Structure 1
Amino acid sequence: MTAPPTADPEGLARAYYDALDAGDYERLRGLLAPDFAQRRPDRTFEGRDRFVAFMRDERPMTDTTHAVDAVYPSGPGVAVRGRLLDADGDEVFAFVDVFDVSDGRLASLETYAGDGE
């Protein structure tokens, strides 16, 4: 496995969205700590391999783009405010992702999502 391109929390968060939007699941896997966990309103993923498998094989929409509107890099982690856009560029939902960073990798992700209204 290759090392993440940067240990900078903002750089790691941006690389996460870039890898996810490009469908580059090996790069995504390399950004995440082995015990990575994501908690979101509808489910929780425990472990990097389970999370990557869901993103690669099971998510209902894969032709999407994450529009990052703001990054709040202060602290040991990073928060990102953005919107998930469908293939036509229409907003699916707004989100705030809060990443914890440890040893140069994304250690966990808490996702808050809504319809933006």
Structure 2
Amino acid sequence: MDTESDARDDSDGDMRALVRRYYDALDDHDYDALEETLSPEFVQHRPDRTFESRNEFVEFMREKRPNPDTSHDLESVIAEDGQIAVRGRVIEAGTTLFEFADFFETDGGRLARLETYSR
């Protein structure tokens, strides 16, 4: 094991747990927990829009999400050097709505940036 990696706040295992908490919070509509996973400067870029702050993102998820009764089926989570790549599916009532790939960057043990791709 690399002792430098062990000493970091953003160890690979911690980052995988952080991103799983993020998706659990979305699926459970636990917006306080969602907010805790995100840095105040959180930014998300996705095909249909960009969110420039944690508050803007959480408000959208709480009040304006078009499909709030979905869940995220994570097929793979890869974490290294403060970055996390996730591949999965968004599911509603047992049916896959779309597949996605999310690419996160972390800062201080929180998610700071997210690039989302979907098909």
- TM-score, structure 1 as length reference: 0.89
In 2, the alpha carbon distance for the partners of 1:54 and 1:79 equals 23
Deviates further, 16-25 or 6-15: 6-15
Partner of 1:18: 24
Moved beyond 6 Å, runs of 4+: none
Shift of 1:100: 0.3
Which structure is larger by alpha-carbon Rg, 1 or 2?
Answer: 2
Q: Which has the higher helix share?
A: 2
Aligned alpha-carbon RMSD (Å): 1.1
2:100 aligned partner:
95
Matched to 2:80, the amino acid is: S
* 52, 59, 73: which one aligns with 1:53: 59
CA–CA separation in structure 2 for the residues paired with 1:12 and 1:82: 16
Pairs aligned (count): 108
For structure 1, the 5+ residue unaligned runs are 1-5
- After TM superposition, the score normalised by the length of structure 2 is 0.88
State the percentage of identical aligned residues.
Answer: 49
Q: Secondary structure, in 3 states, of the residue corresponding to 1:73?
A: strand
Structure-2 residue corresponding to 1:64: 70
In structure 2, distance between residues paired with 1:32 and 1:68: 19
Q: Which runs of 5+ in 2 are unaligned?
A: 1-8
